[in-house]
Structure 1
Amino acid sequence: MSSLYKHLEFSDAAKQIRLLRLEPSPTGTDEYAFSLEVHDFQENSRPSYIAISYAWGLPIPKLPVVINGFRMEVQFNCWYALWQMRHHGYTSDVNFWIDSLCINQGDDAEKGHQVAMMGDIFSSASLVAASLGIGESLADVREILASGDNSKIGKLRGRFDQLPYFERVWIKQEIVLAKDVTIFYGLEKLSWSEFADAVNTIKVRSRYLKSDSPERVRLERISNSTQLCNHRSQVTQTPTFMDLVARYRTAKASVAVNKIYALLSLLPQNDPIRQKLPIRYGQSTCFPLFRDLIKLLYRYYKDERVGDKHMALSLIRDSLEIHGLDAERLSRQGFLSKHIAGERAQGRQVIERKLFWLH
């Protein structure tokens, strides 16, 4: 794949993006063919495109695509998301942005610049296409909601929450910051408003059940999909970095540092962590990232309670899987207070109270 990007290098990786466009398949094949081009991406000069949001999934199986004449293999979920675009009639006059192909994944420096732009990439897209993968008919969603059956409605949300898509940390910014979202599930598509209505219907119906009803408990459980709908509807509110760490503490990423990087675009533009945190990829990046976060939290978040900061750092340390020798190095270097163990219990209570309101 590196041969492809030799002909598509950025002159400034912080001010340009690559976009895909569907092309006719090579003669005698049914392989997907695309052209890939570099476009300027500055505030007053941004092309029109659809940004594809999806879960990378397992590394195998892989399927072939042809890009600028180069035949290569991509992971199944990437291939399927592109198939969905073609299936729904997005043809050669539409540009697409999809991270696994539009970013040279073998270039850590480029990846750092492009990841810093991800919030702008998804907020500037004419549409965010949320590919949930292969699934059942979305027509079932409308039928279940129309039925008024609380048990079926609760199970419906459970079906969505079991999808790997809603576990991803990256989809938080991809959905929350989007101008418009369409969900693609199997052969069908669903507008975001229909999806959000389904979630809201579940919340409203729970109010009419007895407080100790098992159905009410199940319906009111804070789920990944509910949390995402709530955040998108509250986009005008300004969470702090510690709020986001607590809210999305269980979200998943294939690379540990992305559990932090994926939150940055959800912060206000003037937030010091968003402005000053270096984005690095490569080997042994978790420890330097944790060290940078400690410095920034204590230097710029002076109004926050020490217990809150310690609790946030505890969650971050677990997310980055920093244990053993790395934790000892931090202690020896004096980055963590010797009183962190005593503060943790107090901080946990504060965080849990905040979590109730965040949902």
Structure 2
Amino acid sequence: MDIRKPKIRLVHLQPLRITGGIECELTLANLYEKPMYEALSYEWGPLCPDDFRIKLGGQEHFVRENLWAALRCLRSEEGVRTLWMDAICVDQSNIPERNHQVSQMGRVYSQASAVIAWIGTENYQDTIKSENNVHLAQDFLHELNANRNLKLSRRQIAKYEKNMRSDDLGLKIYALMALCYRSCWTRLWVDQEVLLSQRGMVQCGSFTFNLDTFRRLFSAGLVWREFYRWADDTAATKMWTSPCMRLFELNKRNQLYNNQHQTYMTMIQLMLRTSYTECGDARDKIFRLLNISAQCCRAAIPPDYSRSFEEIRQSVLEHHHSQHSIGNYDMGSRDLFKAVAEYL
């Protein structure tokens, strides 16, 4: 791949065949030419034995279990589906290529025709009730989506409650809450992948949800907190502090900050607001925030996997001290360093 140009690899997921195996072809594309593809946002998951295999260009290729499950569910019975996913489309062992691909990650996700947030299969963590819970959550989201603004008067809420037994409502809320607590929402790259998307879908096994429904669910929080109160105060509290809802809160705060200051949040501000998230490579705790951070932070801390984690962290602190005030955090240098050190 010529890293001097905005090129990416694309996976062409072949339709389901009689053999049942997962088959893919790989091609190069130039982002300037606006290729059509969907981008996959997913949790890598743990390393696994070499029993999750696909065919890539006719050759056997091993992938992790979660990606294998996603590809299995995403393939069509009829036509080819064109996708971008980092595990296959980026040579993780090639540092220059990895740097190049991460630097244009924002463009990859913003240009995609859709971003699919894969949150796992229906039978999450092998729990017997998981598949039924996904059915309940889907029904509840459809009901919420029927009112496009998700804004109901107290009279409408009372009517809704009268037509539904409280135990049914409680089950639906807990089912939706379970989706909002899936571990994929704490994966470090998912925030920029989902927030940068023009059109987002959440996929759980064979179930598909429109991401805008989750967005509206968050934005209509005050009215719906009142609604949730009839089911269970604990459930309502957990819903609004879930990793999924925190993601939309981050997006809202960053947009408000941009409207007020004509720039996005600084790297330090974003890091402190996403301390609950996780990743395998500590350097990604910084690099994954670049595309949703202030422009000066992007320029000062370019993705470079040849540098150590300590070197990158020091660059973040030096840039913040030279270009940004402490602002809303009102911290001294020592306290700021301590907060960042704890995050990283």
Deviations 1:39-60 (A, max 9, x none): 1123xx2211100010001111
Q: Does 2:129 align with 1:140?
A: no
Residue 243 of structure 1: CA displacement? 2.2
Residue 222 (str. 1) matches residue 218 (str. 2): no
Q: In structure 1, how many angstroms separate the alpha carbons of the residues matched to 2:332 and 2:60?
A: 51
Structure 2 length-normalised TM: 0.77
Structure 2 CA distance, aligned partners of 1:154 and 1:202?
14
What aligned pairs does 1:98-177 form with structure 2 within 5 A after superposition?
A: 98-135=85-122, 136=131, 138-144=134-140, 147=164, 149=166, 151-152=170-171, 154-177=173-196
Distance 1:250-1:148 versus aligned 2 partners, 3 A rule: farther
Runs of 4 or more off by more than 6 Å in structure 1? none
Gaps of 5+ in 2: 123-130, 144-163, 259-264
Distance 1:192 1:67, change over 3 A: same
Q: Which residue number corresponds to residue 280 of structure 1?
A: 304
* Shift in CA distance, 148/124, structure 1 to aligned 2, threshold 3 Å: farther
Give the aligned partner of residue 67 of structure 1: 56
* Cα deviation, residue 29, structure 1: 4.0
Letter in 2 for 1:228: L
Q: Distance in 2 between the 1:14 and 1:318 partners? A: 37
TM-score of the two chains, using structure 1 as the length reference: 0.74
Aligned partner of 1:301 in structure 2 is 324
Given candidates 54, 60, 79, the residue that maps to 2:68 is 79
Aligned to 1:257: 283
Q: What SS is found at the alignment partner of 1:281?
A: coil
3-state SS of 1:179 partner: coil
Partner residue of 2:40 out of 25, 32, 52: 52
- Matched-pair identity in %: 21
Per-residue deviation at 1:189?
Answer: 0.8
- Aligned equivalents of 1:25, 1:209: Cα separation in 2: 42
Counterpart mapping for 1:230-245 below 5 A = 230-233=249-252, 236-237=255-256, 238=258, 239-245=265-271
Describe the shift of the 1:275–1:196 C-alpha distance in structure 2 as closer, same or farther (beyond 3 A): same
Alignment size in residue pairs: 302
Q: Distance in 1 between matches of 2:87 and 2:241?
A: 31
| Structure 2 CA distance for partners of 1:24 and 1:165, relative to 1, 3 Å | closer
Higher relative contact order, chain-length normalized (CA < 8 Å, sep 6+): 2
* CA deviation after TM superposition for structure 1 residue 231, in Å: 3.6
Amino acid of the residue matched to residue 317 of structure 2?
Answer: I
Deviating more after overlay: 190-199 vs 123-132:
190-199
Tell me if the contact between 1:13 and 1:114 (Cα under 8 Å) persists in the aligned partners: no
